[in-house]
Chain A
Amino acid sequence: MSPTPRHTALDALHRSLGATMTDFAGWDMPLRYGSERDEHNAVRTRAGLFDLSHMGEITVTGPQAVDLLNYALVGNIGSVGTGRARYTMICQADGGILDDLIVYRLQDQEFMVVANAGNAQVVLDALTERAPGFDAQVRDDRDAYALIAVQGPESPGILKSVTDADLDGLKYYAGLPGTVAGVPALIARTGYTGEDGFELFVAPEHAEKLWRALTEAGAPAGLVPCGLSCRDTLRLEAGMPLYGHELTTALTPFDAGLGRVVKFDKTTHADDFVGAEALRAAAERAEAAPPRKLVGLVAEGRRVPRAGMSVVADGKVIGEVTSGAPSPTLGKPIAMAYVDAAHAAPGTPGVGVDIRGTHEPYEVVALPFYKRQK
C-alpha cells in the first residue's frame, strides 16, 4: 500500500459532487456524497451509481488458462461457460483464504479475475507464482479498467436507455462486451448489494463520459451517486462476506460457511489444486465438529455492534463480531459474527454483544438479513 493514496479516473468528478472521501486499501474513494442512509435506500428502491475502480483486474489467457485457474483457485473454472462469471476464492496451501474473487470467462481462452483492492497484489503474485508449467499468461490489468456499477431495481431500465446490448438475455453472473453511452464496455450482471445490477468495466479515459451518461439517464428514475459506506451496509444486509472481516487467511472457505465454492470435482486438477488436501480436511471438520459458525445478529436495542466486539452468553465470550452496522432496511443494528456452534442456531436464547462493557441482547438469525423479491 503506497503512502500516497491512488485516485480513480473519476476523482475530480467525485470532488465536484461534494463527496466525502476516504482512504480504502490505498485508494482515495468516495465514502458518501450526502446521507449514506439515503444512498442505501436509493439502491434498495431505485438505483445507485458506484465508482469501484479500486477493484483489481487480472487477465489470464492461453491454451491452458482453464488449467491454471483450476489449479490456482478453489472453484471449477472449467465449468464456467464463455460469457459467464463465477464467485470463487484463492487459498493458501493450508486452505486459508487469500481473497474472494469473481472470474469472468470473456473468451474460451481468456479470463478476467477481479480481486479486492487490498488483495490485488497478493492475488497477482499468487497467480504468477502458480503459473509456471502452464501454457498460460497472467497479466496485471489493474490500470486498464475503471469500474462503474449501477445497482438497484431501476438499473436495467436505466442501462437499457444507453445501450443496445441484450440486457434481457444477460443473466445474473454473466458478462458480455458491448457499447454503453458510446464507449466500449464489458457489461456484467454482478454486484455486491443484494439487488439486481450491473458492473461496467471500461477504459479509464471513458469513465467520466459513462458516469455522466448514467447520471443523466438515471435521474428520472431517482438514481443517485453512492459511496463505499452504503456499499458496506448493502452487502452486510445481503449477508455477503467482506475480506478482512468475514474472510481471512486464518479461515478456510468451510470455516466461513462458504464451502460450496470449493469444488473437488473439477474438469482438471481436482486432486492437486492449491489447498486441496487442507480443504478436504476442513470440509470433514466443518461437517463433523465445526468450531464456530458465521451467523447473523439482530439488535433488540439501538446500540451498534462493531467488528472485533465480543459475542457473549452466560457471561462468557462465545464469539466475535466481524461486521456490524445500523441496517437502514431493518431499522435496527445488525452484525455478522463467528460464534461457537452451540450458540449458532437461529433463536438461541441469551446471546449478547459486549458493547463497551454493556451486554446488549441480540437475536441469532440465519443469513442473509435481506433478500430481494424477484
Chain B
Amino acid sequence: MSNPQQLRYSKEHEWLSATEDGVATVGITEHAANALGDVVFVDLPDVGATVTAGETCGELESTKSVSDLYSPVSGEVVEANQDVVEDPSLVNSAPFTGGWLFKVRVAEEPGDLLSADEYTEFSGS
C-alpha cells in the first residue's frame, strides 16, 4: 500500500489533508483500516463540535474490537461523512478517498504530524 504524499499523518494513524479555505479533511490510514478489519460502525463528532488535536472525538467499531478515533487537528467540525455512517465499509475500501471521516475548520495548524514517508516508516507499511 502507499500513503498519499499530499497528506499528513498522526501516530494514532489518522491522516489530515492540506488546509483549503481554512478547512482540512480527516480520515484513518489504510494501515489502520487493515489492522481494524471490517469496520461496522463509526461514531463521528457532531457538526459544530470542537475537536482537539490528540484527543478522542469518536470511535470505530470492527468485527473484533472498538477503537477510539483521535483528531489530528484542533478546530470546529464543519462536516461529517454521512456516506461512511451509512456504509462503514468505505473506511476499508477507500480509506484515503470516499472513506474520509470529517472536516475541520482548522483553529491551529498542527506541528507534530508526520510526512507520508515518515509515516510509512513509523507504521511499517
Contacts and interface: CB of A to CB of B under 8 A. Distances in A.
Interface in B19-60: 34, 37-38, 40-41, 43
A326 B40 contact: yes
Contacts, number: 40
B37 A32 contact: yes
A37 interface: yes
A325 B41 contact: no
B61 interface: yes
B41 A303 contact: yes
A330 B98 CA distance: 26
B14 to A, nearest CB: 20
Contacts of A121: none
Contact of B37 (A229, A302, A306, A333): A229
Contacts of B61: 302-304, 326
Interface in A287-311: 302-304, 306
Given A36-B63, A229-B64, A304 B41 contact: yes
Given A35-B92, A303-B61, A304-B61, A326 B41 contact: yes
A233 interface: yes
Looking at chain A, what size class is its interface with the partner chain? 10 to 19
A302 B92 contact: no
Nearest to A355: B66
A302 B38 contact: no
A36 B66 contact: no
Tell me the interface secondary structure of chain A in the complex: mixed
B40 A302 contact: yes
Nearest to A302: B41
Contacts of A302: 40-41, 61
Nearest to B64: A229
A333 B64 CA distance: 12
B66 A304 contact: yes
B41 A36 contact: no
B63 A326 contact: yes
Nearest to A38: B38
Contacts of B37: 20, 31-32, 35-36, 229
A326 B36 CA distance: 14
A32 B92 CA distance: 14
Contact of A35 (B38, B43, B64, B65): B38
19 contacts: A20-B34, A31-B37, A32-B37, A35-B37, A35-B92, A37-B89, A229-B37, A229-B63, A233-B63, A302-B61, A303-B41, A303-B43, A304-B40, A304-B61, A304-B66, A325-B63, A326-B41, A333-B40, A356-B66
Interface of A: 20, 31-32, 35-37, 229, 233, 302-304, 306, 325-326, 333, 356
Given A303-B43, A306-B65, 5 more contacts: A31-B37, A37-B89, A303-B61, A304-B40, A333-B40
